[in-house]
Amino acid sequence: MSKISILSLLLSLLLVSCASEKSPQEVFEGAKEKVFSANRLSFNQLMLWESPELGEIDTFSMDIILRKNLDVDLGFDYLGKREGSGYNYIEGVLSSISHKDSVVTYYPEKEIPMLIQSSMYLTNSPIRLLENGPWSYLGDTAIGGKTYKEYLWIEMDTTITDKKVLLKNHIFINPSNELVDHYSRRLFHDGKKSQFIEVKYSEYDFADLGEKLAYDVPSGYLSKQWGQKEPDAAQVLKKGEKAPDFELTDEKGERVKLSEFRGKKVLLDFSMIHCGWCKIAIDQFNKPDYQFAENIIPLYVNPVDSKEKMDKYRAKVTIPFPVLINAGEVGKAYGVTGYPTFYLIDENGKVEDVVVGFSDEKILEWKKGD
What are the tens digits of pLDDT across the range 152-163?
999 999 998 888
281 backbone dihedrals φ, ψ, rounded to 5°: -65, -45
Mean pLDDT check: name the lowest of 71-80, 133-142, 227-236, 305-314. Answer: 227-236
Q: What percent of the chain has pLDDT over 90?
A: 68
pLDDT band at residue 229, thresholds of 50, 70 and 90? low
Does domain 22-225 match CATH 3.40.50.1820?
Answer: no
The pLDDT, as a whole number, for residue 231 is 44
pLDDT band at residue 19, thresholds of 50, 70 and 90? very low
Average pLDDT over residues 283-293: 94
pLDDT band at residue 35, thresholds of 50, 70 and 90? very high
SS3 12: helix
Within 10 Å of residue 269's Cβ, how many Cβ atoms?
23
The answer to whether the beta carbons of residues 260 and 250 sit under 8 Å apart is no
The pLDDT, as a whole number, for residue 174 is 97
The pLDDT, as a whole number, for residue 56 is 81
d(CA 169, CA 59): 19
On the question of pLDDT at 17 being above 50, the answer is no
The pLDDT, as a whole number, for residue 5 is 61
DSSP codes, 223-280: EEETTPPPTT---PPPTTSBPPP-EEEETTS-EEEGGGGTTSEEEEEE--SS-HHHHH
Domain with CATH 3.40.30.10 in the chain: 247-365
Average pLDDT over residues 330-346: 92
CATH architecture classification, 247-365: 3-Layer(aba) Sandwich (3.40)
pLDDT band at residue 277, thresholds of 50, 70 and 90? confident
**323-325/247-250 β-pairing:** antiparallel
With residue 80 as reference, give the H or E element that holds it.
Answer: strand 76-82
d(CA 83, CA 95): 16
On the question of pLDDT at 129 being above 80, the answer is yes
Q: What percent of the chain has pLDDT over 70?
A: 92
Dihedral angle at the C-alpha atoms of 119, 123, 125, 129, nearest 10 degrees? Answer: 170
3-state helix, strand, coil in the chain (%, to 5): 25, 40, 35
Domain with CATH 2.50.20.10 in the chain: 22-225
**What residues have CB less than 8 Å from 301, skipping those under 6 apart?**
248, 268, 269, 270, 271, 324, 327, 330, 331
Average pLDDT over residues 218-244: 77
SS (H, E, C) 192-231: EEEEEEEEEEEEEEEECCCCCCCCCCCCCCEEEECCCCCC
On the question of pLDDT at 201 being above 50, the answer is yes
